[in-house]
Amino acid sequence: MTDNTSRIHGTWSSRWTFILAAAGSAIGLGNLWKFPYVAGANGGGAFVLVYLLCIALVGIPVMIAEIMLGRRGRQSPINAMRRVTSEAGLPRFWNSIGWLGVIGALMILSYYAVVAGWALQHIGAALSGDFQGTNALASSQRFAALLGDASSLVLWQSIFMIMTVAVVIGGVVKGLGVAVRVMMPVLLLLLVLLLIFGYREGNFSAGWSFMFNLDFGALTLHGVLVALGHSFFTLSLGMGAIMAYGAYMPDNARIGSTVLMIGGLDTVVSIMAGLVIFPIVFAHPELQPSEGPGLLFVSLPVAFGNMPAGLFFGALFFILVTLAAWSSAISLLEPGVAWLIESKGMSRVTANLSLGLIAWVLGLGTVLSFNAWEDYRLLGFNFFEFLDFITSSVMLPLTGLFIAVFVGWVMKEYIVREELADDSPWMMGIWYPLVRYLSPILVAVVLVAGIYDVLLR
């Protein structure tokens, strides 16, 4: 570990801490909230298959590349790119990987805090018995009432933003390790419990077929783009988050096996979340898989309200959703903060407060898109949907494309080999062709076709 980085930001104590932190970043609202509703909105099985293919053929290879860049650059994404590009003797254009990432991260953080705020609100709702004996209709109404109440949305959004800023001020290494170590196992355990509940009380077979029966008629080109974008989103790629964490990764840690583990864990959590939610949805005719962003928050209270000790499990579940969101939000804020500290000489506190404020203000647009601005549309999207589309479906794939092309074609092969020196030889054999040919071609084709599809609507 070299120079500035360890002094300014600290180093992960071990490869294991890195895995936990990266898993903490990857596993979040993307798995528990977003995956089920985008799968539901895009028809289920075929979407899930495309999503899994995107994870394997694009997400995992790009994640390896992104960690490599971060570790090679050993700084915030923007400066890491500067360093790696100058090492390669390249024009400054390539720095845009760092820029796009930091801006995209702030845009995502803005709505992420709003949705995490819903989870926070649901902890209290569970504890005060709001879900007790509730049915699908009452649950939908309860959630609609929350969405209609802008001031309470802003309150919860603000609390979550303060939580995030506070940890990043404390320093990522100190703040994160502990949280993740406790949280992940409990989250998995609870998902298993809910899965058993859904299996016994819900319509499991209908939920299962929805997720795994291939109905390609239900999938649009736009849907394919959403699947691709979501594979970046869920693995925290293309935003500097994983690059920034890579900068803190020990030199001799094996990248390949680490990434496979994180990618595997992340995928398992998403699939489990789907298998928890859809059986409940199909057991209640008033609930639709295509419910949209409210899916998690409408369907699960119905389960909690009708299970033994549901009050306890409900509160615990939304605590875990909040924690998972928290450890991801931290990684959305950290890259920009690290850059402001390194390059602008800002203090950690000022950098955090400035970026936190920007994301908070932008988040107000998302809050309003669920009530006062509901009817304002751009390309058929409301503000939140538009922000989500631009970030997940355009910026992330674009940055991912840059990263793949950069590591595959621009970075000198001997440097790549050096970075992978501790990895098994199959890495170069399988990963390198993927990152050079297949991943960039897939991303480019899906990006162009998907955007075309949206413009034509």
CA neighbor of 221 nearest in space, from 441, 446, 455: 446
Contact window for ligand PHE (CB under 6 A) among 70-78, 172-180, 324-332, 368-376: 324-332
Contact window for ligand PHE (CB under 6 A) among 69-77, 192-200, 217-225, 231-239: 231-239
Q: Which amino acid is at 104?
A: G
Smallest separation, CB 235 to ligand PHE (Å): 6
Q: Which residue's structure tokens are 């933003």? A: 161
Under the criterion CB under 6 A, does residue 110 sit at the interface with ligand PHE? no
Q: What is the DSSP string of 369-387?
A: HTTTTTT--BTTB-HHHHH
Q: What is the DSSP string of 49-79?
A: HHHHHHIIIIIHHHHHHHHHHHHHH-S-HHH
- Report yes or no: 21 and 12 within 8 Å, Cβ to Cβ: yes
DSSP class of 253: S
Smallest separation, CB 328 to ligand PHE (Å): 4
Q: Which amino acid is at 27?
A: I
Under the criterion CB under 6 A, does residue 30 sit at the interface with ligand PHE? yes
Tell which one of 236, 258, 267, 369 touches ligand PHE (CB under 6 A): 236
Under the criterion CB under 6 A, does residue 331 sit at the interface with ligand PHE? yes
Alpha carbons 373 and 369: distance in angstroms, whole number? 5
SS3 381: strand
CA neighbor of 284 nearest in space, from 148, 143, 138, 146: 138
Under the criterion CB under 6 A, does residue 25 sit at the interface with ligand PHE? yes
Classify 231 in phi/psi space as left (phi over 0), alpha (psi -120 to 50) or beta: alpha
Under the criterion CB under 6 A, does residue 406 sit at the interface with ligand PHE? no
Under the criterion CB under 6 A, does residue 161 sit at the interface with ligand PHE? no
Tell which one of 12, 17, 23, 31 touches ligand PHE (CB under 6 A): 31
Contact window for ligand PHE (CB under 6 A) among 54-62, 229-237, 347-355, 413-421: 229-237
Alpha carbons 131 and 17: distance in angstroms, whole number? 37
Alpha carbons 360 and 114: distance in angstroms, whole number? 9
Smallest separation, CB 352 to ligand PHE (Å): 16
Smallest separation, CB 108 to ligand PHE (Å): 6
Nearer to ligand PHE, 136 or 265 (CB): 265
Under the criterion CB under 6 A, does residue 239 sit at the interface with ligand PHE? yes
Under the criterion CB under 6 A, does residue 241 sit at the interface with ligand PHE? yes
Contact window for ligand PHE (CB under 6 A) among 26-34, 51-59, 365-373, 423-431: 26-34
Nearer to ligand PHE, 29 or 281 (CB): 29
What are phi and psi for residue 378, nearest 5 degrees? -130, 120
Give the interface with ligand PHE as residue ranges (CB under 6 A). 25-26, 28-31, 108, 233-234, 236, 239, 241, 328, 331-332
